[in-house]
Structure 1
């Protein structure tokens, strides 16, 4: 593959790019990712977490290239153009994210039942990106299949998303670097050089199992320390409720590409903050302004659940519980928020199922190893869910007392809202 230039990167040092990649990177739709932070509101707690979807996408492209070169060298891929397709798919895998990244996806799911992957397909196939790809002999549809699932060759898709993906191998060390967390060390060189293919699935050499174990534990620790941090989620809860309440006025979930491609973090926040301080959208405006000025909600209750309870609690149930707590406390219902954050403790496969096993190559033998048999990983397998109750600073004591009455010390709740899909 011929490269047209290189970019200096704090995680990978140097990221080279080809001519088609350069043109995609320079397109307005891709440049928009510079204005969408990777970790939404985490910079209010970790001040250096200002990195964006733009540099993460470059990093994912770089690692996908390393993986592709490994598979090309081992004969699993028979031509260099397949490596270029992999790199393009990784480069574009987050092109459909809206403002505040995964947080806006909660708004999309709640208001119009769509995802950033669906928006990504439309952006790749209906903008100038399709013309760029076609001009260089690449199919926009094929790139979409690799980026978002349903590829003809299954193991190729696993390089983009899943437990051995370029996505996770970039975002963990990148998020760790910019938050200052010390958990997110990933030996991605060892992992990508150890990739194999068996049964049309991505596999790993047994010698790299320790590196895989370390990465899975790092991901788990980052969820607990950063992604599910109570104050990080406080900021996100404020933005989430502000965007949902203001959607009718601002048309945030208008999924026409002209509107969607204009939605970025600061542009959306500015529109939210400009809402009148009285009237129908006063609540949405206040939440946004308090977020901007870092007057964040306070957590008065939290329960960590590692195993999934049978009782389902969807968004309506969360809202009903918040109303009961507010009524018991004698405070405005708009001042109490019940939030349920949930995640799989193992990464999801391209088919959106939890990674339960990994194919292992040990000399001439290939076998499927449950991830629970990897040392230390068994203790974190399953789900981890976090139920929290937030309120404003002035209502903190009242709500804290009422939570105990409404929820009870022994109550456990299943969480079906507030997903953070990483």
Structure 2
């Protein structure tokens, strides 16, 4: 009998089963590109083990989405075809990511694009969509589900949101490869406890403690890994180098075929090979060289913000003030504002406000929607994590540090 699947060994899930229809997608050059895009951009410069990529994360999301699908199927809530749709959506949810993941996203935003926009185009207009259709599935529906646009909200929420396969896999995977001890979550208990109430994803009340643990783990991973001051130093350098070289390399104006040729190493190679026609390109090349050699910018000031919102204009103003006060060239001072919602975003890209808990009492199922911000252990994290930092090359450290303390010391 012909074998219809393979089992891929995975350090997080032990084995990830992949069926023929999925393997054909995985084996395309478009999907293989994800092997060359690190999941955590510059984190490997601080956590040497963080070499994992969008490729294995995508397999992991497909695996957990499939687990969630089977849990709902056993409760009579979805069909076998829905499980396969979830698997495709999980596999392809990151297919549009550019080099260095979310760093390249900041460049795309200048053209009002995102990796989700590119992901939709990839599924609908390339061989990947053709392979989905050839196997009898609706590539348009899968595209909507992968990026939170389907009419079935609970299916969208399995792919992205506070109870999603995405968050469960990236926390487990990032924690494993960085060595951070914060990302300890029970994804098996969470997926087996999923349910549906009025088209929304719900959770058995008994698994609330596991949800709390996941929210706390995510918060701690942002503080310890994703927003680590030296991780951000590398990302600030990459972004500055790409911004300076954007016009020369046409990074935001290329067509889909050219975009799909990009990877972390391709972009870094392009930056290191820049012609030195002008000061912008010289600086871009110098920053990229320093990045490659781990001669990173130094953080000279850091402040966790509570109520203050730092606009891009305000960041430019701060940069000018620091330059004037320290007498350091403005092009050697960098103001970085790292921020994210303490609670994961919903598929609509808004902060998840509530969670539906289900409880069986006297053979009757009772539903209760509670505000996530009211969950005792999570309430202290409610809001946005915002950190303002100032970076500069090592030679300017003392001058810029003194100016930053003087100018920014009263911010809250």
Between the aligned partners of 1:308 and 1:73, the Cα distance in structure 2 is 46
- Segments of structure 1 that go 5 or more residues without pairing to the other structure are 413-422
**3-state SS in 2 of match to 1:40:** coil
Could you tell me which residue of structure 2 aligns to residue 70 of structure 1?
71
What's the CA shift for 1:277?
4.8
Q: Which runs of 4+ in 1 moved over 6 A?
A: none
Number of matched pairs: 405
What's the CA shift for 1:165?
0.3
Could you tell me which residue of structure 1 aligns to residue 390 of structure 2?
389
Could you tell me which residue of structure 2 aligns to residue 378 of structure 1?
379
Deviations 1:237-290 (A, max 9, x none): 000011111010001112411111011000000000111356241111111111
Could you tell me which residue of structure 2 aligns to residue 138 of structure 1?
137
Deviations 1:186-223 (A, max 9, x none): 10100000001001100000110011010000000000
Between the aligned partners of 2:328 and 2:174, the Cα distance in structure 1 is 38
Could you tell me which residue of structure 2 aligns to residue 417 of structure 1?
none
Between the aligned partners of 1:406 and 1:13, the Cα distance in structure 2 is 52
Could you tell me which residue of structure 1 aligns to residue 38 of structure 2?
37
**3-state SS in 2 of match to 1:304:** strand
Could you tell me which residue of structure 1 aligns to residue 353 of structure 2?
356
Could you tell me which residue of structure 2 aligns to residue 158 of structure 1?
157
What TM-score, normalized to structure 1?
0.94
Query: Does the 8 A contact of 1:56 with 1:170 survive in 2?
Result: yes
Between the aligned partners of 2:169 and 2:392, the Cα distance in structure 1 is 35
Deviations 1:329-366 (A, max 9, x none): 11111110000010000000001111121000011210
Between the aligned partners of 1:236 and 1:175, the Cα distance in structure 2 is 17
Between the aligned partners of 2:204 and 2:274, the Cα distance in structure 1 is 56
Between the aligned partners of 2:313 and 2:99, the Cα distance in structure 1 is 24
Query: Does the 8 A contact of 1:308 with 1:383 survive in 2?
Result: no
Question: Is 2:120 the counterpart of 1:121?
Answer: yes
Deviations 1:104-140 (A, max 9, x none): 101111x211100000000111110011011101121
**3-state SS in 2 of match to 1:159:** helix
Between the aligned partners of 2:87 and 2:4, the Cα distance in structure 1 is 12
Could you tell me which residue of structure 2 aligns to residue 212 of structure 1?
211
Query: Does the 8 A contact of 1:277 with 1:286 survive in 2?
Result: no
Between the aligned partners of 2:4 and 2:162, the Cα distance in structure 1 is 28
Could you tell me which residue of structure 2 aligns to residue 102 of structure 1?
102
**3-state SS in 2 of match to 1:397:** helix
Query: Does the 8 A contact of 1:254 with 1:260 survive in 2?
Result: no
CA RMSD in angstroms comes to 1.2
Deviations 1:281-335 (A, max 9, x none): 1111111111110000001101112x332xx433233123112201211111111
Between the aligned partners of 2:81 and 2:25, the Cα distance in structure 1 is 16
**3-state SS in 2 of match to 1:380:** coil
